[in-house]
Amino acid sequence: MHGKIALEEAFALPRLDAQSRRWASLFSTDVDKHVAEITDINATRLRYADAHGVGFQILSYTAPGVQDIYDREEADALAREINEYIAARVREAPEGRLGAFATLSMHDPATAAAELRRCVFEHGFLGALVNDTQRSGPAGDDLVFYDRPEWDGFWATCTELRVPLYLHPRNPTGVVFDKLWKDRSWLIGPPLSFAHGVSLHLLGMVTNGVFDRHPDLQVIVGHLGEHVPFDMWRINHWFEDRKKLLGLAETCKKTIREYFAQNIWITTSGHFSTTTLNFCLAEVGADRILFSIDYPFESFEDACGWFDGVPLNVTDKLKIGRENAKKLFRLGEYKDSDTPLTKDG
């Protein structure tokens, strides 16, 4: 399929190469290649995109990024530096190939909202991507969740600007790391901890009433929903048949399936399974699924080779591959944005 849109695509600052190497050594079997790919913005990345039918990519700063910086001033400054850096690289790229999500320091809701607004107005960014909870406190052990009422002003800014927020994973730290993951370190990352973190945060937003107070808010999660779609029936059963009778109804008015239909999107990033996609089509529906890769943690070849070959009706393939994202981000023309599907997908 030509003209696909991909939106969980990471970059890193070249000046932080040592940090990128350290992170890559935990996850990659070819650290040099990974660091070269994550610091490149518009050479290798666009060659891969051309070869695999990706028309438009929305880039975001790699995990754990600014969410790992527990000094507030340092985090605020790094977020601004990253946003200025990627805005300049996107401007240099050929027209209609790259966009960006804002990187935000999430120490303070008003500061985060102001930086998002600045990035949308000054640079045309298409939303924000945040790496789960913000570390804070003197030793970085406090975790800021955005499902508290203090964050209502931030969420109001997202809906006023009509931009989505991508809730991306980061690694467990502090007491969470010590108590849960230290002795089970092979489960850190894609096998388990990433989905644990994001699903807790997302369902915290659902049950604490964030989507009731902000019914137009749009939140994206990757990896085909961070395990939540698989548990949809069970979550729904317990919310509707027990927890709402015990008090949950005060803060959570709709059903979990309604939030998925009205507020939540899932992407295919890093999860290239036809069985799982078919399950999500049945449980979540084609209108809320977006193609993505998770480059450079995953390859264009694996993601696009899989998606192009998935046996799917033309309508749903176009929705997931690009049409849903065009609407969500209100995109104009970009490379191959209207190229019809060929008989081979």
Q: Which residues contribute to the site for ligand GRE (CB under 6 A)?
A: 10, 27, 62-63, 189-190, 270, 294, 297
In the complex, the smallest distance separating the C-beta of residue 332 from ligand GRE, rounded to whole angstroms, is 28
- C-alpha dihedral sign at 127, 268, 300, 335: negative
Q: Which amino acid does the sequence have at 337?
A: S
Nearer to ligand GRE, 226 or 294 (CB): 294
CB of 270 to ligand GRE, least distance (A): 5
Smaller CB separation from ligand GRE, 9 or 316: 9
Is residue 158 annotated as a catalytic residue, yes or no?
no
Quickly list H helices, the chain.
17-27, 31-39, 44-52, 72-92, 109-123, 152-161, 174-176, 193-207, 210-213, 232-238, 256-262, 274-283, 300-309, 314-318, 324-328
∠ at Cα 141 (138, 145), nearest 5°? 110
Closest contact distance (angstroms) between CB of 127 and ligand GRE is 17
Residue whose CB is less far from ligand GRE, 63 or 277:
63
Q: Which C-beta is closer to ligand GRE: that of 259 or that of 295? A: 295
User: Looking at 119, 158, 252, 280, which residue is catalytic?
Assistant: 252
Dihedral angle computed from the Cα positions of residues 181, 134, 228 and 327, in that order, rounded to the nearest 10 degrees:
-150
Q: Which is nearer to ligand GRE, 147 or 294 (CB)?
A: 294
CB of 190 to ligand GRE, least distance (A): 5
**Smallest distance from the beta carbon of 37 to ligand GRE, in angstroms?**
13
Handedness of CA 139, 140, 144, 145 (dihedral sign): negative
Q: How many CB atoms lie within 10 A of CB 223?
A: 23
Residues belonging to the active site: 252
